Amino acid sequence: MPAYNAESTLEYTLSELPEGSVDEVILVDDCSSDGTVALARRLGLTVVEHDENLGYGGNQKSCYRLALERGADVVVMLHPDLQYDAKVVPVMIDLLLNDHCDVLLGNRIRSRHEALEGGMPVYKYLANRALTMVENVWLGQNLGEFHSGLRAYTREVLETLPWELNSDDFVFDTQFLVQAVQFGFRMGDVPVPVRYMKEASSINFMRSCTYGTLTLWTLLERTLHQTHLMQSPRYTPKA
């Protein structure tokens, strides 16, 4: 759980996680100003505190490092802000452990009506649809969406991809998925309900525009790497 000011939603998010479905819950706090850390400790979570704000991607890096150190076979990233239904976590774990795929995303967009009724802002819905269409065509995939904060990875994925070289900001997610395609991992998705509420973490319009631009650059960067017009260590196997 990459967390930032999640005190008001953390406990309810955990209450939706089926008992016994995971071996350990790791929460990495990115310098929250509320009581996220104290609550997480009361709830018995493994807690890591950052001394400074490292950003969304930097937070994930801390999560994955610790998960690998502790011997995880599958790692699920779940935002503690109620935007994603934790009840699907055991389904995702089973699909990975049974070798159906290597990377799984929660797909919030089964229909336009459902997405908008769930509170997704119109501009985010349209941007998500447009970027996902471009990414599917560019990368040869068929995912319902690329921009979900509910994700599950096998240990092999995390040990293979050079994700430490990725951005510490939101485009980390896109870079990770493009790396997964580059290294030949199988991706899929599972449906999850749409939940947009005032408590849910989100990025504003301007940062969304920056994210969209960096997403397109990430696709181009991989193409330039493949055609040997530019070499990027992000798409080069670890030594």
159 within a domain of the structure (yes/no) = yes
pTM comes to 0.94
Q: Which two tokens mark 191? A: 């449906």
106 within a domain of the structure (yes/no) = yes
CATH (domain of 168): 3.90.550.10
97 within a domain of the structure (yes/no) = yes
Looking only at the bridges linking them, the beta strands covering 151-154 and 187-191 are unpaired
- Residue 237 has what pLDDT? 82
177 within a domain of the structure (yes/no) = yes
Q: How far is residue 25 from each of residues 4, 44, 75, measured CA to CA in Å? A: 16, 9, 10
The set of residues, in sequence order, having a beta carbon less than 8 Å from that of 32 and lying 6+ positions away, is 3, 4, 5, 6, 7
Place 198 in a pLDDT band, splitting at 50, 70 and 90: low
Q: How does pLDDT run across 105-135, given as a tens digit for each residue?
A: 999 988 888 888 888 889 889 999 999 999 9
Give how many domains the chain has, as a whole number. Answer: 1
Q: How does pLDDT run across 135-187, given as a tens digit for each residue?
A: 999 999 999 999 999 999 999 999 999 999 999 999 999 999 999 999 999 99
161 within a domain of the structure (yes/no) = yes
Q: Tell me whether residue 228 is exposed, middle or buried, using C-beta atoms within 10 angstroms of its C-beta: 0 to 12, 13 to 18, 19 or more.
A: exposed
Expressed as residue numbers, the domain containing 163 is: 71-235
Residue 16 reports pLDDT greater than 80: yes
203 within a domain of the structure (yes/no) = yes
- Cα Dmax for the chain: 52
Contact 128, 208 (CB under 8 A): no
118 within a domain of the structure (yes/no) = yes
Give the residue from 168, 224, 58 showing the smallest Cα distance to 232: 224
46 within a domain of the structure (yes/no) = no
Q: What is the separation of C-alpha 158 from the centre of its chain, rounded to a whole number of angstroms?
A: 13
Give the residue from 134, 112, 106 showing the smallest Cα distance to 125: 112
